[in-house]
A and B are shown apart, each in its own frame.
Chain A
Amino acid sequence: MGLTVKSTGNQVFSKTNKKKYRYQIAIAGNPNVGKSTIFNALTGMKQHTGNWPGKTVENTTGICTFHKENYLLVDIPGTYSLMSNSEEEEIARDYICFTPLDATVVIVDATCLERSLNLVEQIMEMTQNVIVCVNLLDEAQKKKIEINLKKLEKILGVPVVGTIAKKKKTLRILMETIEKTVKSKKKQEGKIIKYSQEIEEVIMNIQNKIEYHSSQTSLQKRWCVLKILDGDEKIIQTIEKKQQIKIQKNEELQNYLQKLRQQKEFQKQYIRDKLINTIVKETEEICKEVVIFHEEDYQKKGRKIDKILTSKIWGIPIMLAFLGIILWITIIGANYPSQVLSAFFGKIQEYLEAWASLYEIPVWLKGIAIDRNLSNRNMDSSCYATTYGNILSFIYFIRGLGSFTKNCI
C-alpha cells in the first residue's frame, strides 16, 4: 500500500524537524502532477510516489539544502481547488493560509494548464510569494503543446519556472527562483482577480467594517472578506481563531450582511457561483494567451487505447486475455529464463566444487557451504526472479497505458 505510517505519518515530521532550517516553503498543486516526485528530488527523500491522484493525504516535510542554506519543504495534499469541503482541501488551505510561509510553490500540469491555473489563482488570492512551476514539460512536448512561460509570468505577475522532474538542471532553476524570492526584502504579490464592480464595492464595504489585526497584509484582509461573502462558516471560525478578528460577533458587519443577503445576487449560492465563474473565465482567458496546441487532436492516441480497453465488447475479454498471458508466462514461459539461471548457478557450483576438492576442504564443510546452499538457492532464486520479474513488468506496462482511469473525479 502507498499510504504507510512511514510515508505519511509523524515519523517523517519529527525526523526532519530536528534539523534547523531558515526558510519554510509549501509545495502545492493538482493531484498527479508530479508534486511528490519533485519533493523527493529536492529533499533526497524516498517518500512513496504513485501514479494515482490523492496519494498524499497529510503534509509531509523534508529538508532541502541549496547554496548552504536549509529550506523546509512541505508537500501538501494535491487538490483541484481550495474552496470545497473535503479533508485534503482543508488541510491544504489551512496550511497555506495560516502558516508563516516564506514562499509557496504551485506545481501545475503543462498538459492541462487550464485546470491547474484555477488553483494558482486561488492560492495567489490568499498568500504572497507564490512561484508557479510548470511541470511535465516533456509530456506536453510529446503532445505538441507549447506554453509561453514568459508571457504567463507577465500575466500572473509571479515567477514562472518550467520543469521536467527527471532533469536535475530544471530543478536547480526552480531552487534558484525560490532562493531569489525568499531573499528579496519585499514580498511579491501576483495580479489578483478582480470581480465585477458591484462585488468589489461590497468587498470594500465589508473590509471597512472589520477591525483587523495589525500584522495582516492587504491580501489576507481581502481573502478574509471573500470568505465572509462566500459564507462558509467553518472557514470563518478558523479565520476568527487564527487571525484574532471578530466576525460573528461584529454586529455592524452582521447587520450589513443580513441586508446584503436579501438581494438575490448576494445570496450564498449565487455569490459562490459568481466567484467561481470569474476565476474559471479568467483562467480560460490566460490559457488562450499562453497555450498553443500544435496538434488539435493531441489526446487521440491515448484515447484510442482507452477506447478499446474500456469498450463494452472488448474490455473484459482483453483483461482476461492479459491475465491469461501473465499466468502463462509465470507458469510456463518463466521456465526458459529459469533454466538459463539454473544452468548459470550450476556452473558456479561446479567450479566451487572443483576448487573445494583442490584445496582439500573437509566434506562436511563443503556440504554446508556449497552443496546445500547453492543447489537450494539455485532452484529458488531462479524461479522467484523470473516469476516476480514478469508480473511486475506487466503491471507497469498496463499502468502506463491508460489515461482514462487517471482523470476520474
Chain B
Amino acid sequence: MQKLGQIALNQTAYIDSIECEENIKRRLLELGLIQGTKIKPVFKSPLGDPTAYEIRGTLISIRNEEANRIIVKTR
C-alpha cells in the first residue's frame, strides 16, 4: 500500500481507497477514480504541485495534498 503522491512518474498504480474530505472524494469518484482503477502520474508542473495523472483515457491534475490521501496498490 502506498500513497498516490509517492508514485514515481510513469509508474502505474491501482486505486485502493480515497481518504479525502467527503466533497472532494465524491468528485474524484465521479471522475472515475473508483477502486481498482488504473492511474499513472505523467508529469509534474514546474513547481512540483499539482501533478497530472492519466486515468481512463484522459488527464486530470490533482494537488499533492489530495494525492497523499489516495491509497494505491502497485501490483
Contact = CB atoms under 8 A, between A and B. Distances in A.
B30 A83 contact: yes
Nearest to A79: B30
Interface residues of A, number: 33
Contacts of B35: 277
Given A84-B26, A272-B26, A315-B46, A112 B31 contact: no
A408 interface: yes
B61 to A, nearest CB: 5
B34 A118 contact: no
A277 B29 contact: yes
Residue of A118, A281, A306, A409 with most partner-chain B CB within 10 A: A409
Interface string B29-71: 1111011000000111110101010101111111000000000
B65 to A, nearest CB: 13
B69 to A, nearest CB: 15
Majority SS at the chain B contact face: mixed
B39 to A, nearest CB: 13
B23 interface: yes
B46 A316 contact: yes
A407 B31 contact: no
A403 interface: yes
A84 B59 contact: no
Interface magnitude class on chain B: 20 to 34
A306 B59 CA distance: 12
Given A83-B30, A276-B29, A277-B29, A114 B57 contact: yes
Contacts of B26: 83-84, 272, 276
B31 A80 contact: yes
A409 B60 contact: yes
A102 B59 CA distance: 35
Contact of B62 (A293, A315, A316, A409): A409
A409 B20 CA distance: 15
Interface in A312-338: 312, 315-316
A315 B52 CA distance: 15
Interface of B: 22-23, 26-27, 29-32, 34-35, 42-46, 48, 50, 52, 54, 56-62
Closest 9 CB pairs of A and B: A81-B30, A315-B46, A112-B58, A407-B59, A276-B29, A408-B61, A114-B56, A277-B34, A280-B34
Interface of A: 80-81, 83-85, 112, 114-115, 118, 269, 272-273, 276-277, 280-281, 283-284, 293, 299, 303, 306-307, 310-312, 315-316, 403-404, 407-409
